[in-house]
Structure 1
């Protein structure tokens, strides 16, 4: 496969969750990778064996120099950690990246985005989809890959699920926990990106990259809890929106709360792929099942002996003035 990949490759988000898992696979294939980061000197001191270059999507002047000589680029940038207004920043970043790639002569962009929901998308999912549209709208052949929850150590959405399952003996189950998705293991995501870099294709297109099982949020929580050695009791409730539910996450997860709130909002609709054909197209059909993926992602994790704060804390979180939708 490495003979079909157009290198050198510019890897944006090289120090992030996906980038950290993708780089070793590309190196294993003998592909030359240029790692983009806002702090190249810091990264170079920590990992001097890699090629580092300054890249900041909010500073367009850094983009074309980072891309110089690269034939492919992997776009793994998101701006949610920057707080409010991230949607505008993500649109601006995608436009700047697309223009710089055109000027630099990049031949292929691979972008990892999110599955299109069956209803109006949340702000986060809407921004992911808009970014894909912008990147695919340029002259550079772009492959947009759409995933739902990515399972792996370092994934924010997985961290929320893992922490809920590890620390809550009981959970209220509002309607949104019956929404369905197709979680995908990080190693399969890496293979999807590698396949997209090698894909013999003209123009631009998007592909869903679903995991092998379709599960509700409730099923994901119960199965993760069992893998961690305990059962989680669940009680259906008629009213509790994803936004309202997110407020008590601060008692349970170490994930950044703004990020958690945006991610949980995306759970209110089904995130199910339109088809599974991409896996056959790249010759990668032996996908890791949910239980095996969760087992690998929780390896070495000791469930808290002290569960999340008691119902008084939960009631306080829900009833506080901050919790108004």
Structure 2
């Protein structure tokens, strides 16, 4: 397939490109600033893609069989969910007009209760792509563990830096954190899944755990065991300031991320792993090991390993 990769300079997109190429796909990377992107990744094919511009989308999609929609930006602006909705609708309409066969979108897990603005926007984007495009597979992941993930950076820094840790009430909600390695496997194989139309699938890690348990296990993995003190009066707003102060996550992003932790973020539908039974998602401990190695320096192992798997698996393995 000829595949358009939007969000190609982002955390997930820049890792996915070589995996798709190893699977035999012709990958075109979309960027608002293709010259700048080309200067960094010279071995990749770049095209101008501005989701605010219908003509730009049409030109980027032209000649492609499928597209990845990996565009998402947490912002302090009040209207960013509306902007994301407009961009998703515009992309879906151009995809349908061009005859694109499939869109693969990486979104977020549907909360069991209160939905934050950030997660509501991600779910709305998925809905618009699934209803507007001929065939869209929406993959829903909770926290992605990997260097470059903002939610992982928050957990990593809290676990490593605090001499003592307060535990707000939201730390008792559950999640199923997943390794970036597994997300890349899911994304690459979603392109070939045999489905009759648009659908969504969860992409969970192998364990469900509270945010407190996650913090405890990551702290122990990093060789740090701070005292942890429950503080039920610490509000999400105050927690955001605390997170921004202690971690490398900017305050606007910390605020959005913490707001999204006020409900369980666990699988609520069919898992993609039910469609890929030969793949075993990575344990939390191994995912943390790999994320910390990547932080210390470039790690070819992740992409190289997945690329090898893609070559061996071939395009027909995900069918049926």
TM-score of the superposed pair, with normalisation by structure 2: 0.89
Give the match for residue 71 of structure 1: 65
Whether 1:17 aligns to 2:11 is yes
Of 219, 223, 230, 1:229 maps to 223
The superposition leaves residues 176-220 of structure 1 with CA deviations (integer Å, 9 ceiling, x where unpaired) of 101100000001001111121001112100111110011111111
CA distance, structure 2, for counterparts of residue 197 and residue 9 of structure 1: 9
Where 1:124 maps in the other structure, the secondary structure is helix
Of 131, 134, 144, 1:150 maps to 144
Of 23, 27, 36, 1:33 maps to 27
Where 2:100 maps in the other structure, the secondary structure is coil
CA distance, structure 1, for counterparts of residue 134 and residue 277 of structure 2: 24
Give the match for residue 126 of structure 1: 120
Question: What are structure 2's unaligned runs of at least 5 residues?
Answer: 297-320
Question: 1:256 Cα shift?
Answer: 2.3
| Residues 1:85 and 1:277: Cα distance change in structure 2 (over 3 Å) | closer
Cα contact 1:175–1:236 (8 A) shared by 2: yes
The superposition leaves residues 241-286 of structure 1 with CA deviations (integer Å, 9 ceiling, x where unpaired) of 2222011222211122211210111011100102454212134431
| Residues 1:267 and 1:284: Cα distance change in structure 2 (over 3 Å) | farther
For the aligned residue pairs, the C-alpha RMSD in angstroms reads 1.4
Cα contact 1:136–1:205 (8 A) shared by 2: yes
| Residues 1:24 and 1:228: Cα distance change in structure 2 (over 3 Å) | same
Question: 1:229 Cα shift?
Answer: 1.2
CA distance, structure 1, for counterparts of residue 15 and residue 133 of structure 2: 29
State how 1:21-170 maps to structure 2 within 5 Å.
21-81=15-75, 83-170=77-164
Give the match for residue 214 of structure 1: 208
CA distance, structure 2, for counterparts of residue 58 and residue 256 of structure 1: 25
Cα contact 2:103–2:133 (8 A) shared by 1: no
Question: What are structure 1's unaligned runs of at least 5 residues?
Answer: 1-6, 303-325
Give the match for residue 319 of structure 1: none
CA distance, structure 2, for counterparts of residue 208 and residue 294 of structure 1: 21
CA distance, structure 2, for counterparts of residue 86 and residue 153 of structure 1: 25
Where 1:144 maps in the other structure, the secondary structure is strand
CA distance, structure 2, for counterparts of residue 301 and residue 22 of structure 1: 18
Question: 1:82 Cα shift?
Answer: 6.4
The superposition leaves residues 74-102 of structure 1 with CA deviations (integer Å, 9 ceiling, x where unpaired) of 00011324633110111000000001111
Give the match for residue 309 of structure 1: none
TM-score of the superposed pair, with normalisation by structure 1: 0.88
Cα contact 2:208–2:266 (8 A) shared by 1: yes
